[in-house]
Amino acid sequence: MLLQLQIIHGSTVSRIGLGTILLLLFLLLCLSFYCIGDDIYRPNDLFGISCGSSTNFSTLDTRNWTADIKFLSPTHQAVAAPPLTPSTQQGPYNSARLSQSQFTYSFPVTPGPKFLRLFFFSTSYPNFDRSKACFTVQAGPYTLLQDFNASLNADADDDPGNTNVLFREFCVHVGDGERLKITFIPSATDSYAFINGIEIVSMPSYLYYTNPKVHTAELPRFVGGETYEVDNNSALETMYRLRCGDAIIPASGDTGMLRIWDVDTKYVISQSVESIDFGHKTNLSFTEKTPNYTAPDLLYRSLRNMGPNASINISFNLTWRLPVDPGFTYMLRLHFCQLNPLVNQSGDMIFLIFIQDHLVENMVDIFSWTDKQRGVPVVRDYAVNISAKGNQKKAYISLKMRPHPQSKIMDAQLNAIELFKINDPTGNLAGPDPDHLPQTPNDQMSTKKNNSTMRTLVSVAGAVSSVVLFSFIIAFLLIKRRKNVAVNKGSSKKYRTSRGSSSLSIPTDLCRHFSIAEMRAATNNFDEVFVVGVGGFGNVYKGQIDNGSTTVAIKRLKPGSRQGIREFRNEIQTLSPLRHPNIVSLIGYCYEGNEMILVYDFMDHGSLRDHLYDTDNPSLSWKHRLQICIDVARGLHYLHRGAKQVIIHRDVKSTNILLDEKWVAKVSDFGLSRIGEPTGISMSIVSVNTEVKGSIGYLDPEYYKRFLLTEKSDVYSLGVMLLEVLSGRQPLLHSEEKQRMSLVKWAKHCYENGSLTEIVDEELKGKLAPQCLRKFVEVALSCLLEDGTQRPSMNDLVELLEFALQLQDDVVNCAVESPVNFEDVQ
């Protein structure tokens, strides 16, 4: 379930296991619409081996793992051991096979090409020090890894989700009557070899290996040469398997070979847009040359393209840059599929492809390539030799595309990229270990961050309603929490921050302290009749303090919850210094014995969500909805810019917007919020080193894909909320037909089709000024741009929304309005 991926780290190329995948996977599995693996290809051989384990088990991603002992050669001296720090990821990481002398696994497989996947968890094991793991791995005649220093490779990885897991995928061809033997050889007398998991999966004969019967014209093109063949004597290492412009496809979503299709975001270096999904209206037609197991159907329905950049600058290139090891030949596979309804004939969209700045295609016309049919997937393979220059340790493969000057549509597009390293003439596939970098710029950055005011905080507190969504988030936070506890620290650059401190330093001058007796008195000993909200964190009560003169909301965290303490402290520390009409006020807290209680201003009208859908409350008028949106933007602007520190809320959604007795909206729930230093620049990156938190349906893709948390993540979530306010429905509705399931996608679709009124709440139909509607949707969609830098700031949003309100007013002044159910505010 891990993915191989390379990242640039200082001057090093390092391949890592991406810890976040567990999270994404979990999300995706939960959003069950996402990945139902079509069992298109059924592998003859499928071994999932948990090394050192004596039991069989399966993981969330449907992988099955069995004990390893029967595949281990009898003479081995390898021991089985559990890691000293448990792994934070699902997979074969709860045990390892370790030895200071060589050991071999032998698998009875059918002849043909196989995926061979290796899973490592770099940590200390009883009697095996983490830093002493250094070994070579051979499979048949191939050297897959050479003097592989596992801890060094794990540390060279600066991915925040990384938890010392390393993953490698290879392709090897097994001949008739052979067994697949995998040997682990310690590099020196004091070092040892280890392995946590091995997976072997058959693949179709000519999926990546070249069919000897194929016509020369269809052979992979050799950049700067003629053609190339990947023959059965070759072994391959998967360097990248990237889906362009959309979310990851996990192993369970593959065509039966358990491949993971990662996002390409990290490797795109030019501006580009992620195109809107072309949906599922058109059935794809796979062909003999591109059979249905080539890649998941889903992959061909979304793509990355150039968008408006192309028409602005004709020589603009859509560019990817992939770090690789020098001294090898690589096979690059590009996946295309034309589903664009605007492409109806040859020449409508033609573009050029450059690899390493060589023009390899001077006229890509996908439509012509596929016999003038839309929805026909097609792949093209290229080979490129990356020579080693001096003792240079890293190199890049660049891929560029740009429209042909005669193309009718000025665009270029790509669905997926696969890149494989091919063994050198000695049978070697191993690249050098990454440089050891004691203090890279990245280290300095994160050290600085550690010293800053950032807090590592997790929240299980949250919305007052929406219990279903809630328990779901809790589940994932709990999983993540287990991770936090177990994060193995081998290196200075890992995220340490103030997680350890447990004293409750609370600015008591700003925040009143209540005794438990006062709290009991306020709620008649927490009488159920005063419960106004229930969440995973506990109950919210309506209470009276100061002899009944003030009504307050009392949020009582589940007594004794040790986890709750961080969220509790975060909420108090973040919220108590804040004063703004559109931020809910924290009156005080109670922290006594097991009790953790927060006391807020009481909000008469509950949450915004309570007035949008699934409710008996009367519908809000459009103007009031707009006013609420403006309030929210103002409150968030204050968080982003007005307070001493930049505060990123991280959980903007309709259930966290509360309405007071005058219908003024206030942002609430700071359990997930984060504080960063103000930077004065347009975006403060508070942390790239954090776990993804927030609510499904509202999450900024830049945040969950790249761990880039900025104020613009709140802008994104607000964008989702704006659409929610307009349409009176939740962001994700599984009961809806596919196209409408995601509110964001549906809105984009309607906007492009000029059918905006479709998404307007039934209650509002006919009551919106068309200009106002258009403006509002444009504003919302601008918040939802993939690239955070292009989204408006919160301040811009306040103005834009006020302008939208103005547009509505202009019309109302010369027409009749309006379904008012309360008086105007502000």
Binding to ligand NAG by CB under 6 A, coded x per residue (else -) over 286-325, reads -----xx----------------------xxx--------
By CB under 6 A, name the one of 11, 36, 42, 58 that touches ligand NAG. 58
How remote is the C-alpha of 308 from its chain's centroid? 26
CB of 524 to ligand NAG, least distance (A): 53
User: Exposed/middle/buried for 13, CB within 10 Å: 0-12, 13-18, 19+?
Assistant: buried
Sole window of 127-135, 229-237, 336-344, 456-464 interacting with ligand NAG (rule: CB under 6 A): 127-135
Nearest to 164 by CA among 193, 219, 118, 122: 122
Which is nearer to ligand NAG, 253 or 792 (by Cβ)? Answer: 253
Record the tokens describing residue 566, joined without a space: 């961080």
Which is nearer to ligand NAG, 38 or 817 (by Cβ)? Answer: 38
Size of the site for ligand NAG (CB under 6 A): 29
Q: Is 408 annotated as a binding residue?
A: no
CB of 337 to ligand NAG, least distance (A): 15
Backbone angles phi, psi at 544, to 5 degrees: -120, 130
Sole window of 61-69, 498-506, 740-748, 775-783 interacting with ligand NAG (rule: CB under 6 A): 61-69
Sole window of 57-65, 229-237, 298-306, 518-526 interacting with ligand NAG (rule: CB under 6 A): 57-65
Q: What share of the chain is helix, strand, coil (3-state, %, to 5)?
A: 25, 25, 50
101 binds ligand NAG (CB under 6 A): no
Please tell me the distance from the alpha carbon of residue 112 to that of residue 202, in angstroms, as a whole number.
7
Which is nearer to ligand NAG, 130 or 634 (by Cβ)? Answer: 130
Please tell me the distance from the alpha carbon of residue 457 to that of residue 436, in angstroms, as a whole number.
31
By CB under 6 A, name the one of 11, 30, 42, 55 that touches ligand NAG. 55
Which is nearer to ligand NAG, 315 or 735 (by Cβ)? Answer: 315
**CA dist 266 → 17, 321, 712 (Å):** 15, 9, 18
Please tell me the distance from the alpha carbon of residue 52 to that of residue 49, in angstroms, as a whole number.
9
CB of 418 to ligand NAG, least distance (A): 20
Which is nearer to ligand NAG, 260 or 458 (by Cβ)? Answer: 260
Please tell me the distance from the alpha carbon of residue 237 to that of residue 257, in angstroms, as a whole number.
15
Active-site residue, 277 included: no
134 binds ligand NAG (CB under 6 A): yes
CB of 255 to ligand NAG, least distance (A): 9
- Between residue 675 and residue 734, which ones bind ligand NAG under the rule CB under 6 A? none
CB of 67 to ligand NAG, least distance (A): 6
Binding to ligand NAG by CB under 6 A, coded x per residue (else -) over 34-53, reads ----x-x-----x-------
Which is nearer to ligand NAG, 55 or 501 (by Cβ)? Answer: 55
Q: At what angle do helices 711-727 and 622-637 cross, to 10 degrees?
A: 170
CB of 446 to ligand NAG, least distance (A): 18
437 binds ligand NAG (CB under 6 A): no
Nearest to 223 by CA among 355, 318, 335, 351: 355
574 binds ligand NAG (CB under 6 A): no
357 binds ligand NAG (CB under 6 A): yes
Which is nearer to ligand NAG, 285 or 818 (by Cβ)? Answer: 285
Q: Is 62 left (phi over 0), alpha (psi -120 to 50) or beta?
A: left
Record the tokens describing residue 809, joined without a space: 């007013």
By CB under 6 A, name the one of 62, 450, 453, 484 that touches ligand NAG. 62
Amino acid identity, residue 603?
A: M
Please tell me the distance from the alpha carbon of residue 705 to that of residue 243, in angstroms, as a whole number.
12
CB of 441 to ligand NAG, least distance (A): 18
By CB under 6 A, name the one of 64, 110, 311, 373 that touches ligand NAG. 64
94 binds ligand NAG (CB under 6 A): no
- Between residue 769 and residue 798, which ones bind ligand NAG under the rule CB under 6 A? none
Binding to ligand NAG by CB under 6 A, coded x per residue (else -) over 181-200, reads ----------x---------
Complete DSSP assignment for 259-286: --BEE-GGGB-S--EEPPP--SSSPP--
Record the tokens describing residue 826, joined without a space: 């502000």
124 binds ligand NAG (CB under 6 A): no
Please tell me the distance from the alpha carbon of residue 714 to that of residue 720, in angstroms, as a whole number.
10
Which is nearer to ligand NAG, 398 or 452 (by Cβ)? Answer: 398
Please tell me the distance from the alpha carbon of residue 196 to that of residue 53, in angstroms, as a whole number.
9
Could you say which DSSP state residue 638 is in?
I
Alpha helices in 611-700 (DSSP H): 622-637
Record the tokens describing residue 10, joined without a space: 């200082």
Nearest to 649 by CA among 612, 606, 693: 693
439 binds ligand NAG (CB under 6 A): no
Please tell me the distance from the alpha carbon of residue 252 to that of residue 431, in angstroms, as a whole number.
29
CB of 115 to ligand NAG, least distance (A): 12
Record the tokens describing residue 342, joined without a space: 């605007």
Please tell me the distance from the alpha carbon of residue 266 to that of residue 320, in angstroms, as a whole number.
9
For residue 166, the cross-strand partners are 120
Please tell me the distance from the alpha carbon of residue 197 to that of residue 1, in angstroms, as a whole number.
11
Residue with tokens 């889903």: 298
Mark 141-170 as b/e (b = at least 16 C-beta within 10 Å): ebbbbbbbbbbbbbbbbbbbbbbbbbbbbb
Q: Are 678 and 645 in contact (CB under 8 A)?
A: yes
By CB under 6 A, name the one of 97, 221, 374, 400 that touches ligand NAG. 400
Which is nearer to ligand NAG, 351 or 663 (by Cβ)? Answer: 351
216 binds ligand NAG (CB under 6 A): no
Sole window of 1-9, 62-70, 103-111, 505-513 interacting with ligand NAG (rule: CB under 6 A): 62-70
Which is nearer to ligand NAG, 40 or 643 (by Cβ)? Answer: 40
By CB under 6 A, name the one of 75, 189, 283, 813 that touches ligand NAG. 283
Amino acid identity, residue 624?
A: H
Annotated catalytic residue, options 651, 669, 700, 761: 651
Q: Are 394 and 309 in contact (CB under 8 A)?
A: no
Which is nearer to ligand NAG, 216 or 283 (by Cβ)? Answer: 283
**CA dist 794 → 288, 355, 826 (Å):** 52, 40, 20
445 binds ligand NAG (CB under 6 A): no
- Between residue 138 and residue 177, which ones bind ligand NAG under the rule CB under 6 A? 149, 151-152
Which is nearer to ligand NAG, 291 or 432 (by Cβ)? Answer: 291
CB of 57 to ligand NAG, least distance (A): 9
Q: Are 706 and 632 in contact (CB under 8 A)?
A: no
CB of 359 to ligand NAG, least distance (A): 7
> Number of C-alpha atoms within 13 angstroms, CB side, residue 332?
27
By CB under 6 A, name the one of 71, 328, 354, 703 that touches ligand NAG. 354
CB of 201 to ligand NAG, least distance (A): 9
CB of 409 to ligand NAG, least distance (A): 19
Which element (helix H / strand E) includes 740? helix 738-741
∠ Cα 96 102 106 (to 5°): 75
Q: Annotated active-site positions, please? A: 651
Mark the binding-site residues, compressed into ranges.
555
Mark the binding-site residues for ATP, compressed into ranges.
555
Q: Which residues bind ligand NAG (CB under 6 A)?
A: 38, 40, 46, 55-56, 58, 62-64, 66-67, 131-132, 134, 149, 151-152, 191, 283, 291-292, 315-317, 354, 357, 400, 402, 436
